[in-house]
Amino acid sequence: MANAAGSTHSRISAAAYQFPTGMTNIMNTWLQFLAGQGARFDDSGSVASFGDSPLPPAPAEGFIAPLTDLGLIAASGADAADFLHNQLTNDVENLGSAEARLAGYCSPKGRLLATFLTWRTADQILLQLPRAIQPAIQKRLQMFVLRSKVKLEDASERLVALGIGGSAATSALAHWFPLLPSAPYATASSDAGTLIRVADAFGAPRYQWIATEAQAQAAWAALSAALPACGTQVWRLADIDAGIPQVTAPTQEQFVPQMVNYEAVGGVNFRKGCYPGQEVVARSQYLGKLKRRMLPAHVDAPQAQAGMEVFSDADPDQPCGMVVNAEALPQGGFACLVELKTAAAQAGGIHLGSAGGPLLQLRALPYALPDAQA
């Protein structure tokens, strides 16, 4: 199967799997619990499958996937909202307790270092991002705390995430959350934790359940009886289907937010104050037309991964874009999100890896772009 960056890993049985020493104690015990439920892992610690199949037979009908490839940074303290508001592309000061938002973290040159799902609890603001880049991003944020009254901690030490989707998700969750979030990026809380509705995928609602390990373990039997359990690959495929990009290690500092449609999916607020790279992001928005965008694509190739360049028949000597995310499809080939020049997208003839590489089949986005360029 493929991980978040698209690289291939073999599935490892629970008996043979050695849990990564760099993982927190809770993640080790959570992985051990999942192994006892039949989970198989790839060599990064992500759940590759339950049994031999990484994907549910009909993801539009329902699935549950432990999101062990994602980590959490928690910000607390009197200045937490102000601090993050001045670091991220979205409005954090006015983030409500019943909503979640996407947000980016940029370099001074306006290039994305990370993309987050953010939400607020009674005493903290949580930032979810790929676990592989979490330590470096948390360290970088910590450098700018200075005298602010902010504490940053790895919340993955106490919370786990379950991805739940499909038409059967609503009835499956009703026992723990009688009032489900009614729209994408709304949240609901109960004694069982926090439920976040994210962008719909496969034509059905999708949710993240953020819970303690004890809460997740207590719910697992009933949830997995109602919904087929599967690997985290299905969640990443769902993000691709929804057109939601995720910056991973191979694509850090490659994209201004608009290149990956981040303002179109609600990840950028152009009315808020300054943050690193804000001038570049604003200039990209207001000066001239945007010349690069992100589109979904399928490609029949033996391999596709984040960071691979793509080439156009119209100008084969230089790349016209880059793969943002890629995941293997059960029927073969890969689903991708691809950033590329809008002129190249309109001309067609886009190839993976080289001018003579496999042809990308570009697809329509599930949402409208403000500039209608792509």
Give mean pLDDT in consecutive 10-residue pieces for the chain, a chain of 374 residues. Answer: 40 50 64 93 87 82 96 97 97 96 98 98 96 97 95 94 96 95 96 97 97 97 96 96 98 98 97 93 85 97 97 96 96 96 95 97 96 53
Question: What number of CA atoms fall less than 13 Å from residue 189's CA on the CB side?
Answer: 9
Q: Which residue is listed with tokens 């539009």?
A: 60
Provide CB contacts within 8 A for 216, sequence distance 6+. Answer: 30, 66, 160, 162, 209
Q: Are residues 124 and 265 in the same domain?
A: no
What dihedral angle (degrees, nearest 10) is formed by the CA atoms of 34, 45, 2, 5?
130
Are 36 and 54 in contact by the 8 Å Cβ rule? The answer is no
Dig out the tokens for 17 from the structure: 């799997």
- Let me know whether 71 and 121 are in one domain: yes
Provide the pLDDT for residue 347: 93
| Residues 127, 229 within the same domain | yes
Q: pTM of the predicted model, to two decimals?
A: 0.92
- Residue where a domain stops, chosen among 243, 272, 288: 243
Question: What's the confidence (pLDDT) of residue 2?
Answer: 39
**CATH number of the domain within which 317 lies:** 2.40.30.160
Query: Do 98 and 80 contact (CB within 8 A), yes or no?
Result: no
Per the domain annotation, does 80 fall within a domain? yes
Tell whether 205 and 104 lie within a shared domain. Answer: yes
Q: Which amino acid is at 103?
A: A
Q: Do residues 237 and 327 lie in contact, with contact meaning Cβ atoms separated by under 8 Å?
A: yes
- Same-domain pairing of 152 and 136: yes
C-alpha closest to that of 251 among 338, 319, 315, 311: 338
C-alpha span between 326 and 341 (Å, rounded)? 18
The tokens for 311 are 């080439």
Of 213, 243, 273, which residue is a domain's last? 243
Rounded Cα–Cα distance for residues 175 and 173 (Å) = 6
Nearest of 108, 68, 70, 103 to residue 88 by alpha carbon: 103
In a domain, 367, yes or no: no
Same-domain check for residues 194 and 269: no
Secondary structure E strands in the chain: 39-41, 47-50, 63-66, 70-76, 100-106, 112-120, 125-130, 151-154, 160-165, 187-190, 193-201, 204-211, 292-299, 309-312, 315-328, 334-341, 350-352, 360-362
Burial class (CB in 10 A: 0-12, 13-18, 19+), 255: buried
**The tokens of 187 are what?**
């949240």
Query: Please, what is the end-to-end C-alpha distance for the chain in angstroms?
Result: 30
User: What is the per-residue pLDDT for 51?
Assistant: 81
**Domain match, 344 and 211 both:** no
Q: What is the H or E stretch that residue 222 is in?
A: helix 213-226
Query: Does one domain contain both 214 and 291?
Result: no
Sequence letter at residue 64: I
Same domain, 57 and 183: yes
Q: Do 234 and 315 sit in the same domain of this protein?
A: no
Residue 258, token pair as written in the block: 């608009």
Q: Exposed, middle or buried by CB within 10 Å (0-12, 13-18, 19+), for 364?
A: exposed
Residue 371 lies in a domain: no
Query: Do 71 and 168 lie in a common domain?
Result: yes
Q: CB burial class (10 A; 0-12, 13-18, 19+) of residue 114?
A: buried
Structural domain tally of the chain?
2
Domain that holds residue 214: 1-243
Residue that is last in its domain, among 243, 270, 304: 243
The pLDDT value recorded for residue 9 is 44
Closest residue by Cα to residue 310 from 283, 336, 340, 285: 340
Residue 98: the pLDDT is 96
- Give pLDDT, residue 5: 39
| Domain contains 61 | yes
138 with 278, same domain: the answer is no
Report the alpha-carbon distance of residue 178 to residue 158 in Å, rounded.
24
